[in-house]
Structure 1
């Protein structure tokens, strides 16, 4: 069996997952049994965590119980792809408004101020490549709109075609405009890669996957990943710290999470060793999270922590720190 894509949100999931990690949708064809309401606990079909029957979502991963709709107030981890879909949607809305405004007489397009949490990657201005002037009467219709979009943000060829079609142009008009706009699509991929790296952390493979999701070709995405100046060791460390800000992890569990994000075992291990986490403290935090939702005996809590990847001594420390 292989990894599968969620039919609801297109998130790529592990083969072992019965529900989507991003949105909780049950995997097509998965045999997911209904819970016995008389049982004191239920096992999460996504991460195998034991949960109390009075909770509709898994405490460990936040996924709905057996495909039920998640209730508000429960903490869920948002995938990088989901976050960027939201960012992209908001950006396209802003850009679309700018383009529509720019098409009116005596109007101009101005680039929105980028909000960056990681200023380590410098994004070149896209306006340098496309010098559009309203007096250029040869640029009309879809081509005119295409160049105005490219003056504000980077696009893939197919992504620009899709955006022009959304603006009401026919497929042939959109393709013709994308073909004639003069864009260097490898350069566009590089600019998009730097935009992503200013918002979040990526492994090389994760960045390539994200660019391909934005409709860049594999060769364009690889070129961008190899020329955007990404420091995968630094990215892995930043991503490890980001995970620890939202949830408690064992060292083993955090390494596995980074590997799932596309980092090599060496990169993940080095990042986790340098992230500055106190694993005894993480065990206590994890234990307290469990106890907030259901009762555990000391031995049960130790077993649960060891299942999460904590060492026996860390699990004992976590149980004692949370219970006493």
Structure 2
């Protein structure tokens, strides 16, 4: 898939214009979004993503279109896991309701910049050393086992939320106001420049998403080698994330089997990456006598099927739990 530099430039300019316009509007009038507003914007971003995927199919062929949809669905499903951490961080830092949407938007903007860097580095590394697919595959497999382990152990997610090297350094070295000052991240107080609590929580959100990107970007390269498709899929997946945060809220906890579903997806993509690396070096023919590449159609079927089964099983489990709780009360 050949993507001319001017296509990259147009895409980035449009993305930045949308984000900056959104930030300016929210900066002037921070508020809690209504249900109607959340549904509208989530629907808008989904429609735009589908239209973009169909456009890729029309211009570059069905193969690249399927790759985009596979990456977009994977990034979107992995972003649901991000929302658990976002909810925990918002609670932990006691972010006022009217500032939460603005906080999420700024955090997502920073996350997109970091992911863009990761995607560029990933493309350069994979072009130079194809054997890195083995490392990516092993790392994703480790991440999949980690999700299952945490699910079985019922590890409290809030113990380490927002606690990392960056946040520890900020707490020890950066003078802060200890409170929120509207949408300001820095203020001048008695001649000193101080960071507000808003800056701290945005930094926590950004660094948390950076850790999630260590899983999602290698997973995306397991589905396509086109950095343009990975970048745009990440944009569409993250753009509606803040509205999804307010729409789902506590309903996320009803998706009890989400970690298991994500572990299946990551595990599948890790196997796909390793098999791709074997095929690249001709080891599949040498060792097994067959081509071991997994088609994008199979990838899409596994991703969609896993998400559907996870959602249905979670709903059934939640209904049974609620029914049992009601019976116990009566």
TM-score normalised according to structure 2 size: 0.28
TM-score normalised according to structure 1 size: 0.29
Larger CA Rg, structure 1 vs 2: 1
Comparing both chains, which one has the higher relative contact order based on Cα–Cα distances under 8 Å and sequence gaps of 6 or more? 2
